[in-house]
Amino acid sequence: MGNREDLLAGAKRCLMEKGYAGTTARDIAAASGTSLASIGYHFRSTKALLNAALVEAMEEWGKEIEHALAAEAPPGATPLQRFEATWERIIESYIRLRPLWAIQFELIAQMDRLPELRESFASANREARLGLAALFENLDPAVDEKKAMAVGTFYQALLGGLATQWLVDPESAPSAHDLVQALHTITAGRSGPTQPDTPSPTAAGTSP
């Protein structure tokens, strides 16, 4: 690898071990086997290097999620069984990629002091939601972008919320089977999807 690639690899290792705020230029130089001057030459600043390393790490995380979703469910599996199998694999990825999830929450807490990262996260959010809709439900935003965005937002909330519980207390964090049981409870008695854009007879001032 060249110095630039070495710096990115070293910065990613430091991010995993020390976090974003705890990583210094000297840490990266030592981890990458390069000089402090090479950081300025290739990236201008340590912050720019860390941001680039974070983007690469997030891309690797995305590939990990794709890999988890690409694994085939057992033949004849029901939709709920496929759902459970998928989330079992995602939970395994939480365990392997725990430092990367921790960094994301660290950065969210510092967002007001890192406006450039806020902009990066905000612009990436839209693409992430559409990507999740395609990965989980094979929804094409070109066909129905509003639906894809809503579904992607739901999965983004589920991924982040579950990751929080695994970071804070993995011993009592829900399993994939727990998610299925919760889904059963939440959907019990609901015969079909609601139509939020259609006013109810009461709200419209009319009788049934």
pLDDT at residue 205 in the model = 45
Q: pLDDT tens, 126-136?
A: 888 888 888 78
| 56-59 contact pairs (CB < 8 A, 24+) | 56/8, 56/12, 57/12, 57/15, 57/16, 57/100, 57/103, 58/100, 58/124
Asked if the model's pLDDT at residue 9 lies above 90, the reply is yes
Same domain flag for 102 and 139: yes
Assess whether 44 and 75 both reside in one domain: no
> Using one digit for the tens of pLDDT, what is the confidence trace for 114-172?
777 777 777 777 888 888 888 788 899 889 999 999 999 999 899 889 989 988 898 99
Please give the DSSP secondary-structure letter assigned to residue 172.
T
Number of domains forming the structure of the chain: 2
Residues 113 and 19 in one domain: no
Confidence of residue 206 (pLDDT cuts 50, 70, 90): very low
The Cα–Cα gap between 65 and 58 comes to 11
Residue 13: CATH number of its domain: 1.10.10.60
pLDDT at 103: 81
Q: Do 81 and 142 lie in a common domain?
A: yes
For 104, phi then psi, to 5°, come to -60, -45
**Residue bearing tokens 């690639």:** 5
Same domain, 105 and 135: yes
CA atoms within 13 A on the CB side of 61: 25
What percent of the chain shows pLDDT beyond 70?
87
Q: What is the pLDDT of residue 71?
A: 66
Asked whether residue 82 falls in the same domain as residue 140, the answer is yes
Instruction: Report the distance separating Cα 104 and Cα 111, nearest Å.
Output: 10
pTM summary value = 0.69
Do residues 56 and 12 touch, judged by C-beta distance below 8 A? yes
Same domain, 92 and 165: yes
Q: Are residues 76 and 49 in the same domain?
A: no
In a domain, 155, yes or no: yes
Domain enclosing residue 13, as ranges? 1-53
Looking at the structure, do residues 98 and 176 belong to the same domain, yes or no?
Answer: yes
35 and 100 share one domain: no
Instruction: Please tell me whether residues 100 and 129 are part of one structural domain.
Output: yes
Q: Are residue 16 and residue 87 in the same domain, yes or no? A: no
